[in-house]
Amino acid sequence: MFKEEIIKILKKEKIPKDLLQAPPNPEMGDYALPCFSLAKEYKKAPQEIAKDLEKKLKPSKNIEKITANGPYLNFFINKAQYNKEIIEAKLNKKKPNKKTITLDFSQPNIMKPFNIAHLRSTMIGNALSKILTHEGYKVVKINHLGDWGTQFGKMIYAYEAWGNKTELMKDPMHYMTNLYVRFHKEAETDPNLEDKGREWFAKLEQGNKKARTYWELFSKLSLQYYNKTYKRLNVTFDSWAGEAFYEPMLKDTILLLQKKGIVKESEGALIVDLESYGITPCIIQKSDGSTIYATRDIAAAIYRAKTYKFYKNLYVVDVRQSLHFQQVFKTLELAGFPWIKDCVHIPFGTMKFEEGVMSTRKGIIIFLEDVLDKSVEAVEKIIEEKNPKLKDKKKVAEKVGIAAIVFWDLSHDRVKDSTFSWAKVLDFSGETGPYVQYTHARAASILRKAKSSKRIPAYEKLTHAAEKELIKQIALYEQAIEKSADQYKPSILAKYLMTLCQVFNDFYEKCPCNTEQDETLASARVYLVKKTKETLAQGLSLLGIQAPEEM
């Protein structure tokens, strides 16, 4: 509101609001207007323009002082009023804007384990759903399951050849993973197995009863497994419409593209030639009559446009799928769909371990549940060492252990590759989830110990550099959320929270609440701690992370 008031003052003088900036030195004021660009219009030196404006413009309740300093006109806001506004402002969501965003994320492949690589799409998507909802959008969270494709043909063949239902039901996901790995190892010496897999998938597409029964069994067991992980991560979806959901629509989709005149035959397959656009052809139907996931993504986009009338249609998918989305988007553009301009691929880099990049085919897999378990166990040990009397230790360890993994992932710029490090992930004093959670718990502890006071907080007394810096950081919270939403980067909010924690901990060391003799100042500090705690709690919530009251 303070900046807006200055802008109104400048508007009366027909001065562009874009000229207003933060001064290079805080002593020069809270906002500065450089007058260099006004010299031509006013036909005066910048110093004279600043002096003339100083005389002309009048301070107000919120703008305490307006002074010229060389070629700059500096504005000093009412600090007591500013502090009160920031500290007492409610953390509300923006009003609904009646715009719908479809957000496609997570997308695990049925019969394959939920590995650490899936964490990126799941948690980036989950955080974006919360951030965009906070910004006023109606977000439809879609889990476009990989529940169709040649991998089913391979699994059916493997199960027919080497499977055992009793062993399958004991530990479905590990058993199916082992079968899938075995299929690819055997195929290295017997290439005919790939043809066998394709034959079984063709049967599945044709509605073969046996193939369908296997597909239903493998899908059911996989979903039961995935739901356990989603529950643990506190992730929910509005739609589970995977690739199989669009299978009945594929004939009409192909026919539609053919009628648009963009499909041609190539070696028995149906393709959309995109080479003139610098993109390799988009295969719509393979030579054996089966479809690929590009066809299903095209059908899905058309369905979402009709069903949800989206403002944006977002896909949180690995950067290695960038070519795929270029093909799909260009095909839809050539087909004449105007809403294609609102479809956005949100890519993310690869997560690496010392073992290297993961591959289900090669058997190089790190199960997410194992990583979460290990993290929780490590946190349990740390709690046992540092705070053995803590109540509900196991519940707290679960919250902190999972937050460690999630925050570490979200704090990295999503477009960059990252290497997982246990030492960094679980560092309670570094730029980590546990550090942010611990700072929130510290604020909660201060509030529990704070003396009850009926004194009105004296916000004008919050003049210590650490107090001013903390208020300044809190004021940047909504801006961090807006940037995260605009750039589809939860890392912006995560990094903001880390900075807020660092500033708060500096304030904690230098500005005590409970030993301060001036009760009105102590009261103001308590309110400042309360505001910091609320900001951290909501910020963590927007990232899909819980904020324990004690650690």
For the stretch 155-191, pLDDT in tens is: 999 999 999 999 999 999 999 999 999 999 999 999 9
What pLDDT, on the 0 to 100 scale, is given for residue 187? 96
Residues in the chain: 551
Which tokens sit at 456? 């009105």
How many CA atoms are closer than 13 Å to the CA of 117, on its beta-carbon side?
22
Which tokens sit at 210? 């046996």
- What is the H or E stretch that residue 62 is in? none
What pLDDT, on the 0 to 100 scale, is given for residue 429? 80
What pLDDT, on the 0 to 100 scale, is given for residue 1? 78
Q: Which CATH number among 3.40.50.150, 1.10.730.10, 3.40.50.720, 1.10.530.10 corresponds to the domain 369-414+421-542?
A: 1.10.730.10
Longest dimension (CA), the chain: 90
Give every CB contact of residue 175 below 8 A, 6+ residues apart in sequence.
167, 168
What pLDDT, on the 0 to 100 scale, is given for residue 364? 55
Of 378, 501, 493, the closest CA to residue 442 belongs to 501
> What percent of the chain stands above pLDDT 70?
97
| Residue ranges covered by each domain of the chain | 2-77, 100-352, 369-414+421-542
Report how far residue 532's alpha carbon sits from residue 275's, in angstroms, rounded to the nearest whole number: 54
What pLDDT, on the 0 to 100 scale, is given for residue 426? 80
Beta-carbon count within 10 A of 249 CB: 17
Helix, coil or strand: residue 1: coil
Q: Which CATH number among 3.40.50.620, 3.30.70.270, 3.20.20.10, 3.10.105.10 corresponds to the domain 100-352?
A: 3.40.50.620
Of 300, 493, 518, 333, the closest CA to residue 406 belongs to 493
- What is the H or E stretch that residue 272 is in? strand 269-272
What pLDDT, on the 0 to 100 scale, is given for residue 352? 76
What pLDDT, on the 0 to 100 scale, is given for residue 353? 67
Helix, coil or strand: residue 211: helix
Beta-carbon count within 10 A of 155 CB: 24
What pLDDT, on the 0 to 100 scale, is given for residue 281? 98
Residue 420 near residue 353 (C-beta atoms within 8 A): yes
pLDDT in tens, 408-422: 999 999 999 888 788
CATH number of 2-77: 3.30.1360.70
What pLDDT, on the 0 to 100 scale, is given for residue 358? 44
> What pTM, to 2 d.p., does this model score?
0.90
Report how far residue 344's alpha carbon sits from residue 347's, in angstroms, rounded to the nearest whole number: 9
Distances (CA, A) of 527 to 83, 458, 476: 10, 10, 18
pLDDT-flagged residues of the chain (< 50): 357-360, 363
Report how far residue 226's alpha carbon sits from residue 244's, in angstroms, rounded to the nearest whole number: 17
